[in-house]
Amino acid sequence: MIPPAAEGPIYLDASATSPPAGSVVAVMAAAQASAWANPSSLHGYGLAAADLLERSRQAIALSLSAEDDHLVFCSGGTEAAHLALAGVAAGLCPGRVVISAVEHPAVVAAAHSLVSKGWTVAHCPVDALGRVRLDALQALLQPPTRLVSVIWGQSEVGTLQPIEQIGALCRQAGVLFHTDAVQVVGHRLIDFSTLPVDLLSFTAHKLQGPRGIGVLLARQGLALQPVLAGGGQEGGLRAGTEPVLLAAGLAEALRLCDQRLSAHGGLDPLELLRDQLARALQQLPGIAISGCPRRRLPHHLSLLVDDGAGHPLPGRRLVLALWRQGLAVSSGTACHRGQASVSPVLTAMGLPPSWAAAGLRISLGPWLSSADLAGVPQALASAQAEVAAELLSDRARP
C-alpha cells in the first residue's frame, strides 16, 4: 500500500481516521483466506475462525495489560461508549451521570440516552485550555452521581485530561468511571491493570487498523448489560457474529504501535515532528495554538487562525483552501459533518462564536516525515491569505 504522503496531497488528519498499515492489510488478507467462517460453528472452519479470534483478543489484551475477559469487541468507539454508559447504568439505580463539557458527540449522546431511564446529566466545566476543572468535578461527585465519563485525549484541541487524578476522585466517591481513549490508544503505552478506570473504550481505525471494530475494556465484576441483544457472543455482552478479520487487523495495528513506542522509550516519535511543525507555524502572523500546550496528544496540533490583523478566519474555509494547497486537514471533529461550524468544544473553553468557528486541526501519523511537513507553513500562509481575501470580497458585496 502506498502511504498517503508518498503521492498526491499530504494526509494530516489522523485524528479523523488513518490509512491501514500495509501489514494490517496483509494480516487481514491472510485471515480472509484461512479464518472466514463463523467462529460459533463447531466444524473445522469455524474452529479455525474461533482460534484466530481468541488469539487476537489475547494479543490486544496483552498490549493493554488487561485480562482477556475484560475485552468486548464492538463495531467502533461509538458503540463501545454506548455499551460502557448504557451497559453499566442498566445495573444501577438511576442517578446522575457526569460528563465533561468537551466530550465527543458519541459520549454526549450515550449519556443523554439515559435520561429516558430516569437519569440526569451534568456537564463538568473546563478551563480555557480544555482541562476539566477538578474542583467542579469534586463537587459533582456527591450523590446522586453514580457514573462519570471523561475523554482522555480531546479529539479537537488535543488536551489530555488528568485521568489518574479523576479516577482517584471517582474511587474515593464510590463512582464508576469511563474514559473515551479513542485518541490515546496507540500513542502511549496503556496499563489497564493500574489505571483507576472502570471502563475504557477505543477504536481501531485511529491507529492504522481497520474501520468497523472497537473495544470496550471493563473491570471484572461490573454488572454490564448488553446494548445489542440476540446472541451469546462476547460473553453475552454484544450479539452478532464476531468480526474475526477486523480483530486480527486491530491486533496487528496495536503490535505496530507498541513496537514504535517501545523503540522510543515509551514516547511517540510523532511528538518531535509535531513540535517542529508547531514552532514553524507559530512564526506566522495570526496563528495561535489552542488546547493545553504541554499536556496534549503527541500527534495533535490545534490552531486558531486569523487574518494577521486579529480577525478570525472560518476553519472550514481554511480546510478547503488547504486542500487546494495539497494538504488534508480538519476543522473541529469529523463526526460533526453537516452541523454548525461553531465548535462546542471551543465554546466550552470560553471562546466567542467567531473564534469558536476558527479552529483548525492537524494530526500526524507514522507515514509522515519531516520532509512531508516542510511545506506546511507556506501552504497555511497561502490559505490564510486566500480566505482573508475571500472574506474581504464577501464584505464588499452590496
- Active site (catalytic) residues: 335
* Dihedral angle of Cα 226, 228, 234, 236, to the nearest 10 degrees: 50
- For residue 97, list its beta bridge partners: 121, 147
Count Cβ atoms within 10 A of the Cβ of residue 6 and give its class: 0-12 exposed, 13-18 middle, 19 or more buried. Answer: exposed
Backbone angle region of 304, left / alpha / beta, with phi > 0 → left and psi within -120 to 50 → alpha = beta
Name the helix (H) or strand (E) containing 61: helix 44-63
Pairing of strands 145-151, 96-100: parallel
Pairing of strands 300-305, 120-124: unpaired
DSSP-based helix, strand, coil % in the chain, nearest 5: 40, 15, 40
How far is 287 from 282, CA to CA, in rounded Å?
6
Distances (CA, A) of 191 to 50, 269, 305, 375: 26, 20, 37, 38
Cis peptide before 144 (omega within 30 of 0): yes
How far is 286 from 278, CA to CA, in rounded Å?
13
Distances (CA, A) of 130 to 110, 152, 251, 352, 357: 21, 11, 32, 15, 16
